Structure 1
Amino acid sequence: MTAPLADTVAEAVLAHPAVHRLDPGPFGALASYLPGRRVEGVRAAGPGEPVEIGVVLKLGGPVPEVVADLRARVREVAGDVPVDVTVTDVVLAGDD
């Protein structure tokens, strides 16, 4: 069985070195609901549907370049769909 799209998107985004963590936003609304759990910070309804992600970035590189990289990573796993990236916060590199 293949992983749900939301899980695959989350893995791809979290693998980027500038991503500190996924973030569901101030009210926790940015999430995908799967049986028995939520994937916070990713809204992915299914194949061919737009994908939304919320991220906290590590401060270091130019944010527009990181966002472009994240869109490309998401499209690698979700296909040629619109990808909305919301940067909710930044942290200093090395902060945990």
Structure 2
Amino acid sequence: MASSEPVPPSLVEQVAAVVTAHPAVAGLHGGPFGAVATYLPGRRLAGVRVGATGEPVEVGVVLRLGAPIPDVVRALRTAVAPLVGGVPVDITVEDIELGPLGEHP
């Protein structure tokens, strides 16, 4: 992730896929005013922001009710860190979706 090079779309998509694969994650969230996002060729991926080298990766999530939030955040951070070369990973829980974990697809 060099600061003068664009962010590889595949990296942003991998981060999004790893995060949304967690059973407690209902989806990604762009945060206030959609500020947590990465602009990719022809589109914008809300909920994941990969910046320049050394900048933290930001991820906004909506969690499903039922899982301990600190445990989920820790698991997401651990899953994303190897993908982004060890830069800090900031996970923000933007909302909680009501309903137990078992009631969602």
State TM-score, norm by structure 2.
0.81
1:66 equivalent to 2:72? Answer yes
User: What runs of 5+ residues in structure 1 fail to find an aligned partner?
Assistant: none
CA contact (8 A) 1:5 1:46 kept: no
State TM-score, norm by structure 1.
0.88
Alignment of 1:4-43 (within 5 A): 4-43=10-49
Question: How many pairs are equivalent?
Answer: 95
RMSD: 1.8
Structure 2 residue matching 1:69: 3-state secondary structure:
helix
Cα deviation per residue 1:8-59 (whole Å; 9 max; x = unaligned)? 1001101111000000012111100011101110001256542000000011
Report sequence identity in percent. Answer: 54
Q: Which of the numbers 19, 44, 48 marks the counterpart of 2:50? A: 44
Alignment-mate amino acid for residue 28 of structure 1: G
User: What runs of 5+ residues in structure 2 fail to find an aligned partner?
Assistant: 1-7
Structure with higher helix content:
2
Structure 1 residue matching 2:19: 3-state secondary structure:
helix
Runs of 4+ residues over 3 Å off in structure 1: 46-49
Q: Which one has a bigger Cα radius of gyration?
A: 2
CA contact (8 A) 1:53 1:86 kept: yes
Structure with higher strand content:
1
1:83 — aligned with what?
89
CA contact (8 A) 2:12 2:50 kept: yes
